[in-house]
Structure 1
Amino acid sequence: MNKKGFTLIEVMVVAALFLLTTAGFNYLLILSSASVEKATLLCQATYLLQSKMEEIKLLPFASLPDLNGNTFAAGNGTIKVSPVLADLINIELSLPPHKLQTLRSKY
C-alpha cells in the first residue's frame, strides 16, 4: 500500500519542534526588550548628568561648594563637591547607574 501523508508521530514531532522554536524566539524577544529598556534608561541618565554638568560650569567658582549634597532629577541624582586644593575642587554627579566626575579650577 502506498499511502501519501504523515503519520501521527511525524505531526507530533513537527509540532514539538515548532513549539520549541517559537519558545526560543519568544525568549529572545523578551531579552531584547529588556536590553532596549536598560539602554533607554542609560541614555536618559547620561543626558541628565551632562546637562546638569553644563549648568554647573556656568556657576562662579565661589558658589560651587554650596552645591554639595544637593539633588537633581527629581531627587534621584546627587551632587558631591569636595576640595582638592585651595583653588581646585572635585565635582561628582551621580545618577544611577552612572557617575560623572570633573575637576574645576578657580582660574
Structure 2
Amino acid sequence: MVKVNGEAIYDTRPWEIFGEGPAEVIEGHLSEHKNKDNTEKDIRFTTNGDTLYATVLDWPTEEIQIRTLDQDKLNIKDISLLGSSEAITWAQSEQGVSIQAPKVKVGKYAFVFKITTN
C-alpha cells in the first residue's frame, strides 16, 4: 500500500477538511472492535502544493460523490488513481465532483485519487 500510495502520505499536510463520509469513530481504550468497517463513501484528504489526495477507504463499486469538492471550493484540472494507468472519468459541478468507479482494482486497503488543481 505505501509503495503505491506513498505520495499521498509522505511530505503531505492535512487539507482544510479532514474528510467526508458516514463513518463514526468510537474512541477510548480497547474500543477498536466497536468501530464499523469503513466504506467507499468514507474519504480522507491530504495535500501537497497544487495536489489534493482523496483517499477512498474501500474499493468503489459505484460512482464516487465528493460533495466537498464543488466548483466554488476548488478548480480541478485532472484526476488520476495512484497505481493505475486507467483514465479516470470525472465531472465537477456545484454539487461537488463525481468520479466513475475504476474498472481495475489496485491494492487491497485504501485507494487514492490524485486531484490536480490550478
Query: Is the TM-score greater than 0.5?
Result: no
Relative to its length, the structure with more strand (as a share) is 2
Tell me which interval the TM-score lies in, with the shorter structure as reference length. Answer: under 0.3
Relative to its length, the structure with more helix (as a share) is 1
Please report the TM-score for the alignment, with normalisation by the length of structure 2. Answer: 0.24
Question: Using CA pairs below 8 Å that are at least 6 residues apart, which structure has the higher relative contact order?
Answer: 2
